[in-house]
Amino acid sequence: MVNETINRFSVSVSAEISNWGLKFNTEGKAPVGNATYDYLKKYNAYYVDKTDEKIAYLTFDAGYENGYTANILDTLKKHDVKAAFFLVGHYLEEEPGLVKRMINEGHIVANHTYNHPDMSKVFDEESFKKELTSLEAMFKEITGQEISKYYRPPQGRFSENNLEMANELGYKTIFWSLAYADWCKDKQPTKEQAFEKLIPRIHPGAIVLLHSTSKTNSEILDELLTKYKELGYSFNTLDELVDEESKNSKANFFSNFYNFFD
């Protein structure tokens, strides 16, 4: 049954298991993903904004609360930066106050699945759907609102099947083009180690992934955002990313349409 499901899809990305990965070739330039921008776009999935402008998108993953999110929110407010927070069911259950604060302060709250499983091993549509819709239901119960339809696969593990199913559920899958090893609670990087990765690798259109469970991120965020701004970067939201892509797609369609009649 699994093989039948897998064989329905072309193998541009491994249909069985894929770990999202990046290769940085040039400082200040977008890295190469192990799935291309154009390939991902077929499924309304993104890892970078295709732009030459110094725009970045700040995103946080939160599997649990580690005491740092309030400070992170304070810093975002200070810099007037709107971020996206990808949350799991446990976080919604335990921290409804912080979730409501995220919303009230203009941040996007998005879907990181209910149980944070390895989604690359989820092949059947019903199980995949349940991971996303269970979180949707809890979010609506807590906030009275619909969750933003952005989905990030836990640990970046996915399959082509997953991309298609997320798209069919109306979700846009969001990977990243800049991250670093910040997630281990007992092995936090130093400020210097963080900046060694996060400063030289910033690039136009970067989707930056940080974990809100990180003590280091909480401590460096103010200086990090200051440094990014000094380099000329401003911050957009995922809504603006998608809206711009939609505009570009329409513009290309009409351009091709009119060229056909020239």
Q: Provide the annotated active-site residues.
A: 61, 211
Largest CA distance in the chain: 64
What distance, in Å, lies between the first and last C-alpha atoms of the chain? Answer: 50
- Both tokens of 187, joined, read 């092995």
> What's the rounded Cα separation, in Å, for the pair 128 and 132?
7
The enclosing H or E element of 99 equals: helix 96-104
SS3 state of residue 46:
strand
Residue type at 134?
S
- The angle, 0 to 180 degrees and rounded to 10, between the axes of the packed helices 96-104 and 69-79 is 10
Of 43, 56, 58, the C-alpha closest to 205 is 56
Between CA 4 and CA 14, with CA 9 as vertex, the angle to 5 degrees is 100
Asked if 202 and 29 touch (Cβ cutoff 8 Å), the reply is no
Cα(180)–Cα(211) distance, integer angstroms = 9
Helix (H, G, I), strand (E, B) or coil at 161: helix
C-alpha gyration radius of the chain: 18
How far, in Å, CA of 254 to CA of 262, rounded? 13
Distances (CA, A) of 197 to 56, 140, 212, 215, 252: 15, 37, 17, 17, 35
